[in-house]
Amino acid sequence: MKREMIFEIPETADGTAVADFLAARFPYHDRAGWCGRIADGQVAINGQVCASGLLLRTGDRLTCKPSGNPEPPVDFTVEIVSDDDDLLLVNKSGNLPCHPGGRYFNHTLWAWLKKERGLHGFTLVNRIDRETSGLVVIAKNFAASENCRKQFSGRKVVKRYQMLVESSCFPVELTAAGWLTNDTESVIRKKRRFVPGGSPDVPPSTDTEWAETRFRLIRQCNGIALVEAEPYTGRLHQIRATLLAYGFPIVGDKLYGVDETLFLRFCKDELTDADRTRLRMGRQALHAAGLSFRHPKFGKPVTIYLDLPDDMQQLLRFHS
């Protein structure tokens, strides 16, 4: 496979310097490291080598060669759920990044689709976390991508997730509505905090996002519960942060779980046997189980619902 990353710069990165964009997206090099690679001619904008301080514009085409550092191992288990000329639906494992980022390039669903399925010019419509298993929708052409994007952004898609949470008494139903904001009390910069209550029309500050999720208890076991979530909004870390706020962290979640210091030790590859026992699972027990939307070409309803993956089923059986 040709080791080359190609990005079309989004509106959110308009006016960002090339080196800043790459350092934020791929932190295996700091800004100085990326400046060095840019100076060596390993980065191009619209086919031309560039300077590290060049300001990107929406629609620019950035091409660069990724790091030669070894990538962490992943689980390339990918099940084809549905396939036609416009859409490919897959069920991915709970240890597979969707897109290149951080230490991952070839060890991603994006690279697998290019190598194993021969796809080019596709879009991953709903990217889920590396440790989240389940449904990913891949649009094979621009028309399908735009149609699906409008359905997702217009809240016309029904999304269902299943998760195992730390709980001895999860409520039969729970509807959570409130604000997601940066967790300023956490030492981890990317962590968010859910604050229940308020009005969607009156944001408490400019850095908050309204989030709504309906939770339903499926099964209560000894110390853990199987729960289904239907998010009405699509916010970063919405389900994980919301459950933590209510005292029901997701099993195996190192960032929004029983102890955020587990995440810090995980990043340094310093998890102990006691840490792993406390986590119960090697990954967060979150599964993108279902989607309902309309086919982008034919307009017919498409409804997919997946079984719970084996690792989550095994933990349920252990606690039954």
E strands of the chain, at which residues?
Answer: 5-8, 43-45, 48-49, 61-64, 78-83, 87-92, 123-124, 133-139, 158-166, 173-182, 192-196, 209-220, 224-231, 286-294, 301-305
Determine the pLDDT at residue 284.
Answer: 97
Classify domain 5-64 at the CATH superfamily level. Answer: RNA-binding S4 domain (3.10.290.10)
| 3-state SS class at 152 | helix
Determine the pLDDT at residue 1.
Answer: 41
Determine the pLDDT at residue 69.
Answer: 66
Determine the pLDDT at residue 2.
Answer: 46
Determine the pLDDT at residue 147.
Answer: 96
- State which fold the 78-154+287-319 domain adopts: Pseudouridine synthase (3.30.2350)
Residue ranges of domains in the chain: 5-64, 78-154+287-319, 162-284
Domains 5-64 and 78-154+287-319 agree in fold: no
Do 159 and 231 form a contact (C-beta atoms < 8 A)? yes
Q: Kindly report the number of other CB atoms within 10 A of residue 303's CB atom.
A: 9
Give the largest Cα separation in the chain, rounded: 60
Q: Could you list the mean pLDDT of each consecutive 10-residue stretch along the chain, which spans 320 residues?
A: 70 90 76 84 89 91 75 93 97 93 83 91 90 97 94 94 96 96 90 93 89 97 96 94 97 95 90 95 97 96 96 93
- State which fold the 162-284 domain adopts: Pseudouridine synthase (3.30.2350)
Q: Kindly report the number of other CB atoms within 10 A of residue 36's CB atom.
A: 14
